Amino acid sequence: MLHIPYEKIDISWVDRPLRQGQEERFLFSLPWVSTEVDVKEEDKGWIRDATVRLHTDPLNENVQKFMREFKDYPVSYVKPRTLEDFEGKDLQEGSHLDVDPSTPASLLSTFGCPVDPSILEDVIPAWMWDQEKILSKARIEGTDLYDPLSLVTYLVCYRLEWESMGWVGQDGFVGFLETLVNTREEKEFFQVIGWISRQAWQVMTEFCASMEPALTRFSKAKKEISRYISEEKGHYKFMEQVFRDLDLDKDTFPVGGGTRWLLDSYKRAAAISPLAFSAMVSLFEAAYYEEEESIAAVIKLSSRPHAGRGYELHRKVNQEYRHCDVSGRFASYLAPQTRSHALLTVGLFELTLNLLERMEQKLAKSFGIH
């Protein structure tokens, strides 16, 4: 499988006089992640070559070798395979779809899943994402079919780029929590943590059941899906730990309309589109793992620093099983997909991510912080 570097990767060599024994270094950066890398003398040649060719000659051997070094991070996408590459494999086709994803409103009204009236005011009026560009990254040459692996891996990067330009990606939500814990009565902060934990509890409680339709509708990946379901079972207990640590009652917090939509739309995707189902699982998981779980880190600023351990333990499990890769694992069981499934998938991503962002923004606004 070949990997194409995401178009926003930027490489800059650190210009500094080298002391004896010191290695050259470059900065590898994207709008959502950046890291400094030391280069050993013996690797200098091919790495310099790869960084120069990164975007102009992505299939070059050195570039491919370079990208493999970053395989644990969402920084590239799978190059669309050819139709021949899929031949002879026992893969899942997408069935006929009766959904009209031409606008957010038409997607919502034809998708076939319950819609909580409270989300209607937050539904985006038109698609803003460049759908044709996204699809072009996954199109199988000479066809109007799409490589599922290319689409899901590209969408993860595209989502991160989109988020980095908005409120959530610019630490709007974490910033709101920090302001709260630093400037308000602690009771208010814990109420918000209670609200967030209720959303997480609800997701963790219903998540496994929402995937069940895929066990029959996406039968080629049944084993993989069953394994993931068993890895996700019982995770709500992590959140019950948080409620106990904060002396809060989970039943006093409402389930937000965005959370309801996330779960209901995922269940519907599991029943009608194995491609959308494979892609959307990444909305429930981190795209990569940072040093610290962000909610746990903010809780540490409070008088009950230990109360974040439910979040930390959950993150640990996800990291151990590399749940950030589940989307790609599911997609590897898919045959080339039609344009209608690809468009539904992109639409669901944009719609859902906007709803979740609006929900979090409204929470911050209700505390006068935004």
Which residues of this chain interact with Fe ion, rule CB under 5 A? 318, 323
Looking at beta carbons only, is 92 or 318 nearer to Fe ion? 318
Chain position whose Cβ is nearest to Fe ion: 323
Q: How far is the CB of 160 from Fe ion (least distance, A)?
A: 18
Looking at beta carbons only, is 108 or 211 nearer to Fe ion? 211
**Measured distance CA(337)–CA(130) in Å, rounded:** 19
Instruction: Give CA 348 to chain center in angstroms.
Output: 13
Looking at beta carbons only, is 238 or 333 nearer to Fe ion? 238
Q: How far is the CB of 317 from Fe ion (least distance, A)?
A: 7
Looking at beta carbons only, is 107 or 281 nearer to Fe ion? 281
Please state, in angstroms and as integers, the Cα–Cα distance from residue 305 to each residue in 29, 246, 248, 325, following that order: 32, 10, 15, 30
Sheet with 24-29, strands from edge to edge, namely: 10-13, 24-29, 34-39
Q: How far is the CB of 199 from Fe ion (least distance, A)?
A: 15
List beta partners, residue 11. 28
H or E segment to which residue 70 belongs: none
CB-based contacts of 316, cutoff 8 Å, min separation 6: none
Looking at beta carbons only, is 8 or 227 nearer to Fe ion? 227
Q: How far is the CB of 180 from Fe ion (least distance, A)?
A: 27
**Measured distance CA(134)–CA(132) in Å, rounded:** 5
Q: Is-contact 131 351, C-beta < 8 A?
A: no
Q: How far is the CB of 224 from Fe ion (least distance, A)?
A: 14
Q: How far is the CB of 231 from Fe ion (least distance, A)?
A: 7
* CA-based nearest residue to 334, from 194, 250, 218: 218
**Measured distance CA(334)–CA(340) in Å, rounded:** 15
Looking at beta carbons only, is 79 or 323 nearer to Fe ion? 323
